[in-house]
Amino acid sequence: MKGHRSKMKQKRISAGVLALFGLLAVAATSASARQSVGGPDLSPYGILNNSVANLHASGGVIWAGPFLSNSADGGASWYVPDSDSLFGTVNRLFSIDVEGDVIVAGLGRADRSGGESIQTASGFLVSIDGGQSFQYRFPQLDGPEADTQEYGVSILPALPVIVPQQSPPFDVDYDAATEVLYVAGWASGLRRSLDYGRNWERVVLPPDNLDAISPDQPYSFSLEPQRGSNGSLNHMGFSVLVASDGTVWAGTAGGLNKSTDGGVGWQKFKADGTSSSLTGDWIISIEEQEMGSGSVIWTATWNTGESGGGTGQFGVSFTSNGGQSFEQTLLGERIYDFAFDGNRVYAAGDGGLFMTDDGGRTWNSVNQFRDRTQPSRLVRQGSEVFSVEVDDGILWVGTSDGLLRSDDEAASWTLFRVDVPLHPDEPSSLAPDVDAFAYPNPFSPGEDRYVRIKYETGSMQNIEIRIFDFGMNTVRTLRESGVDGVAESLWDGTDSRGMQVANGAYFYEIRAGSDRFRGKILVIE
């Protein structure tokens, strides 16, 4: 099964990196403290980030973004590859695919150098030995001279994409049968590599005004992403899948594209307002459900009105006949990812985790998740479900507030979160011996929604947490009843009137009986 990813949410996760007391960020551990699959990089803090936008599970190994955390024992222990250009940097995992011993991770970051956050390509990490070692590859960009593109009998004008901004690797797919690696990279469109990402070549898709292209026909359209009145939404790559029969499916901001000849000739499908077409033209995700009698191609289809004046609505579109017709379901839902367990289909979205056993006719949903052994540990209400995977009957779900595992088809859950101890056996500047800390810190209410304040009581206590501004004026008081042992309290960045607090430094005091714990939170919106 192809690796999963969450695209539109990448810009939200950067502030969810671990942080401890004050401004102390725990974004990395020392090389001697980590262990990966086949290597010496054990993660002492679990998954390292509570926002899990990318998942891939196969062969008993689960890989989780944004730092390539992986576990081969069902989450009992977590490892981080000693890989270049990801861990301990501003880079994050934007996409992942695992096919046997080949692992391809697409890297991106948020570039804020111009004052606006722009999703940016950072390259790739490629392993051909099952994750024991990784090699870095540069982003899929052009040289300034690449202003034409040969396509069959035509020489097309093309816009060289020479900067990494707006070309993050939103999706990757490695086809083990042909050893071709594809990347859907937004402004850089759809590209492929024949040498594990060392070199990239453009894949020509139909422009917005054509429903199909063939290399034996002459064309004069320009190969370029939409910029104002120029270019095409269909040249802005967002998702890619090589199906089990070799068919290549490419999703863009302008439609769903299909190729049966290895990515040369293409047919394009768009929303036309009927119930037998796509719900929308922005193809967020493409996944294949392999069935005994054939395959079903599932797509998360969004309204492109937000990005280019398109039509349609949010929902899911799927086809069991290669695109001759589509069925629509989950209308109005923003879906990011799919996973399959026989006839069962799981869909991850803003509204929670959706499940169907009858081909999308009816759905059940779950939007409240509690740890089955510690009911007080739960995913905060309203958290998005970004990603979903199934491996050997085990269901994995990535949310904006933790990673979930279910062994009983979503009936109960085990919740994994960043687990930094208050009193580590070997304190360090990255993990000091403290009585309390807050994370993420700095805290962005808009991106993170909540900051978690972690503390420990020695016996059953009622807890009061006062939050003060820089002038030591009380802005909010939080209360918890019957707390015993290690606990976390959440603050949403609002004052006692429900108003968002201003940017700046805030202090908190935890009162547990006669004990007092104090710390600092930096709010940056």
* Integer Cα distance of 475 and 86 in angstroms: 38
How is residue 522 written in tokens? 């930096």
pTM score: 0.86
Task: Give the model's pLDDT for residue 448.
Answer: 76
Cα atoms in the Cβ-side hemisphere of radius 13 Å centred on 104: 30
The pLDDT score that the predictor gives to residue 213 is 98
| pLDDT at site 48 | 83
397, 388 Cβ separation under 8 angstroms: yes
d(CA 424, CA 431): 7
Check residue 8 and give its pLDDT: 46
For residue 115, what pLDDT is reported?
Answer: 76
**8, 175, 217, 255 from 302: Cα distances, Å:** 11, 26, 31, 10
Distances (CA, A) of 428 to 34, 247, 500, 521: 15, 52, 34, 20
Count Cβ atoms below 10 Å from residue 300 Cβ, excluding itself. 30
In the chain, CATH 2.60.40.4070 sits at 438-523
Each residue's pLDDT, cut to its tens digit, for the chain (525 residues) gives: 455 444 444 433 332 333 333 323 222 222 222 334 444 477 878 888 888 999 999 999 999 999 899 999 999 999 988 787 786 788 999 999 999 999 999 999 988 787 788 999 999 999 999 998 999 999 999 999 999 999 999 999 999 999 999 999 999 999 999 999 999 999 999 999 999 999 999 999 999 999 999 999 999 999 999 998 899 999 999 999 999 999 999 999 999 999 999 999 999 999 999 999 999 999 999 999 998 888 999 999 999 765 444 568 999 999 999 999 999 999 999 999 999 999 999 999 999 999 999 999 999 999 999 999 988 788 988 899 999 999 999 999 999 999 999 999 999 999 999 888 888 888 876 678 888 989 888 888 877 778 989 998 888 889 999 999 999 999 999 999 888 888 889 899 999 999 999 999 999 999 998 889 999 999 987
AA identity, residue 89: T
For the segment(s) 438-523, the CATH number from 2.60.40.4070, 1.10.1740.10, 3.40.1280.10, 2.40.30.30 is 2.60.40.4070
